[in-house]
Structure 1
Amino acid sequence: MEPPGTAASAVEDATRRLVALRYRIIRTTISPKDTLLRLINSELSFLRRISASTPSSSPHSFNVGHLEAVVHVLQLPSITGVSRVCKSIALSPSHSIYVDIVCSMNGNPVWFVVSDRNPRYISWDGGPSEKIKGLKFRIAQVVDAASQAPVTLRPSSVVLFFSNGLDESICQKIKKEYESINLEMDPFSYEEFELEHEWTNVVVGRSFMHACVIQIKVDWNCHETNGRNLSNSSSRLDKPISCNKIDEFSDMNLGKSFWSLISGMKCWCCSLAVDTAPEVGLLKVSLGGARTKLVNFDTTAMIAIVSGISNGGTERLLATPESELVGRFKGNYEFVIAQINSEIQSPVISELSAVVSGKRGIICQSVYSEFQELISMYGGPNEKLRAKCLQKLLKVMPDCPSTRLASLKTTRKLALKNKVVFGTGDYWYALTLTANMAFVRAVSQTGMSLYVLEHRPRALIGD
């Protein structure tokens, strides 16, 4: 985008926008904050240098528009599991490719390429000189890299985000070349904040009303993807299902929060279209367009849901003499007290209920076995009943880690057990609920994005 007016006014305008963008990032939960703030501060330093040394008539090109577009994409509801922003991806010791965002979109791994250029200056074939490469070359470069990337980094699609739009003739060329599809994304709402220094009530968001978003599918050349969609009757997954599996628990006092969560979930008791994928020997349920309708529970999530701390036990525990609690929980006393205080401030089941409402739950065999062992050893009568009721609604899947998770080298931080749990959710395109963010961070450091949602941990208290 060309800066309006003189260089001095352009520098001031860019500086104002960057300050507003920095303020917006600090106020939100956007990730990764450190990287974004470092990029903004670097651009602000550049603006300060040219403002002090350059004649006011000299034109300059700024990165503020590109940074605004990147932040806009990161704040879209469909974007999760961001593992890279404005960095090169090393595909081999001698080859890397630059992409703006590596993340998950609706549960699928994607690469984003963001452009803030004026569409008038976007050429398909490039300039007369061979050094001036056009959009065709750039797209081919990224798509080829995506299709040949190691399985741990390979995206399901490349998404091109043109913040100022794109000429229709070029859109048609991309569609013809790659069978691409146009995506509709919600525009960002303008906000006004009172900023520091002399700037107040500065608009900190662009609407991107004219943005053009194009998705190009990447050929995985892998049987794993095909096995998940063997039937065309996936629409059954979206229909309400009545369930009598948990009727036996209806008269039991298991807690209002627990029942609120349970009643909002869908069960698996109806007849679903299934088939067998002989190439991997697993029973597979047709998911089709309902990929984001599944939630994968790890052991921490199941314990948090059935824990007495999450189901009305906080007041009773706080009323118990400290000496009795210390004797009861021993070395875990401080840990349990911290969870009680956390629960009082923000009940965990209320957050999880909004996530699982209207969705079906799955657990892998490893989680099922581990949870059964923990609940039998440490669970109280009510916790055991909640566990039994919850498991009635969940489908136990065979341990089936996705190829990309299984391909990660097993280390202390990337333990095989966790690769199985998260990998099974990844295989089924399911959102994984977890408190195990150490594993998520370790995966992110490899450059891979994961479709996960963090919850605060809760312990079994013998309730």
Structure 2
Amino acid sequence: MEMGERRAVADLALEKISEAKALLAQVDDMEKNHIKGASKLRKRIQAEIKFLNKGLKSGSEMKEDHVMCSNLGQLGAVSAVAASVPNVTGILQPFTTMINEKLIIDIVADNGRQWMKVIMRNPKALHLLYISGGRKGTKPLDEVAEDFVMCAEQHPVFYTTPKVVFWFCNGMSEGLATALEDRGVHVHGHRIPDNQFGLADFIVEDSGSEDLDSEDEESEDDNDSNEDEPKEENHDDDLNKEGTYEDGLIGTLSEEKHSNNNVDHLCPLELQKGPDLVPHLFKLQIEKSMPTEASSENCQNKNEPVRKINLDITAMIAYVSATANGGANFIFKDKLLTEQAEWERKSPVKETLDSYFKGCELMACQEAVDHFSSIVGTIGGEGEQTRAEQLLARLTIVPGVDYLKDKVRQGGRASDRARLVFGTGHAHRAITVTSNGNFVRSATQQGVKLAVLFHQPRALTEAKESTATSL
């Protein structure tokens, strides 16, 4: 290699490194937003930087192909798309299929209800792979789509199958897009007529790589020593043979993650303009809308958002509590009540609960209602009792269904009642609103995934105001 060529390759490598460092700034924002897998994305970008630096420092005959085969383009595309869609909760997340294979989801968005695969590859190569039915053990994307859809059906969020979206950064053939939609996948990107590829005359080489799941995929907390140098081969079927247990998305949202998003908003994706943090080699033409209804009319996944809310006792108490209804400006003799009042001043719980309730049918089991009524009648103040009557008038009260009796085992009367409440919600395909994190954690540890929305706890405090210090 001549000196001028070597210098050009070195300059290209330095440019790639600079742009990779800019990507790390975008990952910083993801980590601040507590997006699961952001640290994994960071490690992969850092591995690419290390690989390029190693080539520069060694003085070896690093060629332009060595620089261009880097996965930074794909990593940048994933980062750019993630910055442009709302409510991203996961990056590069593993899920298991029914046959215990692992599937990597590039972006988990819409609070878990959308699985997105970001595809950077040459559209001609993708079309050729599709019409030829695959080659050398590599699956065409229509077969990959079947894996995604089947896996999504096994991991429902709030009783709804996640929508699978294939996002083509460089476009795709009309034939491939139609085949994907026939299999239940929503397609995003420019569509190219099949006859424009001219594949009868020549075969195009594929220079892109978007598959980031290696055969020795590790969790984001594991040692990533095997990622020091990026792999040059593609794994087009997006699957490897190593099984993994995925417990990241069990259909639960904390109050903090959901405070501005009611259940009605768990709906088809609406793009939002993200920060322009992506350098020019990674920049995408992000459109501001998803495919039209006409382009997606063949999609099979048309599950409606859950519109039924099941209230447990903690949610009913929090909703009628004096603390949550204007009585937060007190210092109580009970330290816990004072702490809850402080929480209320910072984060009003009734606003959170109302956002959960909006547009939904409210229900509760008879056993929960009886216990709630007993508590309010015993220690509730006059205002709390009035609000309790108003709340109960809004509820559809149903008999308790002990659906989880043989699935979740705990001891004590309170635990049995909680199991009945959550079981009733599950039997009615309703989302249970609760502050009972202990039961949810216990159920998860026993392999039961519950659809829940969390809120901060509040106690009945009206009767304690007379002995409290007013602020």
Q: What interval of TM-score do these two structures reach, taking the shorter chain for normalisation?
A: 0.5 to 0.7
Q: Which residue of 2 aligns with 1:454?
A: 454
* Per-residue deviation, 1:345: 2.2
Aligned match for 2:93, one of 86, 91, 96: 86
Matches within 5 A, 1:422-433: 422-433=422-433
Structure 1 residues 150 and 382, CA gap change in structure 2 (3 angstroms): closer
Q: Which residue of 2 aligns with 1:224?
A: none
Q: Contact 1:153–1:447 at 8 Å: present in 2 too?
A: no
3-state SS, counterpart of residue 309 of structure 2: strand
Q: Which residue of 2 aligns with 1:169?
A: 175
Which amino acid in the other structure matches residue 86 of structure 1?
A: Q
Q: Which residue of 1 aligns with 2:286?
A: 208
2:304 matches 1:304: no
Aligned equivalents of 1:42 and 1:64: distance in 2? 8
Structure 1 residues 23 and 462, CA gap change in structure 2 (3 angstroms): same
2:82 matches 1:71: yes
Which amino acid in the other structure matches residue 334 of structure 1?
A: K
CA shift digits 1:224-247 (9 cap, x unpaired):
xxxxxxxxxxxxxxxxxxxxxxxx
Q: Which residue of 1 aligns with 2:221?
A: none
CA shift digits 1:11-48 (9 cap, x unpaired):
3213312x2322221343x543xx32233234324423
Q: Which residue of 1 aligns with 2:211?
A: none
Aligned equivalents of 1:298 and 1:422: distance in 2? 8
Aligned equivalents of 2:103 and 2:13: distance in 1? 30
Which consecutive residues of structure 1, in runs of 5 or more, have no partner in the other structure? 194-198, 220-287, 319-324, 327-332
Aligned equivalents of 1:68 and 1:181: distance in 2? 20
* Per-residue deviation, 1:303: 0.9
Q: Which residue of 1 aligns with 2:271?
A: 187
Structure 1 residues 313 and 398, CA gap change in structure 2 (3 angstroms): same
Q: Which residue of 2 aligns with 1:280?
A: none
Q: Which residue of 1 aligns with 2:191?
A: none
Q: Which residue of 2 aligns with 1:321?
A: none
Which amino acid in the other structure matches residue 274 of structure 2?
A: Y
Q: Which residue of 2 aligns with 1:275?
A: none
Aligned equivalents of 1:87 and 1:52: distance in 2? 30
Q: Contact 1:83–1:447 at 8 Å: present in 2 too?
A: no
* Per-residue deviation, 1:161: 2.9
* Per-residue deviation, 1:392: 0.6
TM-score by length of structure 1 reads: 0.62
3-state SS, counterpart of residue 295 of structure 1: strand
Identity of aligned residues (%): 20
Matches within 5 A, 1:246-257: none
Q: Which residue of 1 aligns with 2:234?
A: none
Aligned match for 1:40, one of 29, 39, 42: 42
CA shift digits 1:382-423 (9 cap, x unpaired):
212211111111111333577xx788554579x665454345
Aligned equivalents of 2:30 and 2:320: distance in 1? 35
2:162 matches 1:130: no
Q: Contact 2:309–2:432 at 8 Å: present in 1 too?
A: yes
More off after superposition, 178-187 vs 358-367: 178-187
Aligned equivalents of 2:176 and 2:41: distance in 1? 30
Q: Which residue of 1 aligns with 2:53?
A: 51
2:181 matches 1:156: no
More off after superposition, 354-363 vs 205-214: 205-214
* Per-residue deviation, 1:441: 4.8
Q: Contact 1:401–1:426 at 8 Å: present in 2 too?
A: no
Structure 1 residues 309 and 31, CA gap change in structure 2 (3 angstroms): same
* Per-residue deviation, 1:427: 4.9
2:25 matches 1:11: no
3-state SS, counterpart of residue 124 of structure 1: helix
Aligned match for 1:114, one of 111, 114, 117: 117
Aligned equivalents of 1:342 and 1:154: distance in 2? 31
Aligned equivalents of 2:107 and 2:442: distance in 1? 15
Which consecutive residues of structure 2, in runs of 5 or more, have no partner in the other structure? 1-10, 57-61, 189-267, 464-471
Structure 1 residues 182 and 44, CA gap change in structure 2 (3 angstroms): closer
Aligned equivalents of 2:426 and 2:122: distance in 1? 37
TM-score by length of structure 2 reads: 0.61
Aligned equivalents of 1:216 and 1:156: distance in 2? 13
Q: Contact 1:190–1:206 at 8 Å: present in 2 too?
A: no
2:379 matches 1:378: yes
Aligned equivalents of 2:138 and 2:433: distance in 1? 47
Aligned equivalents of 2:151 and 2:420: distance in 1? 27
CA shift digits 1:295-315 (9 cap, x unpaired):
332222111111111122233
Structure 1 residues 433 and 188, CA gap change in structure 2 (3 angstroms): same
Aligned match for 2:147, one of 133, 141, 145: 141
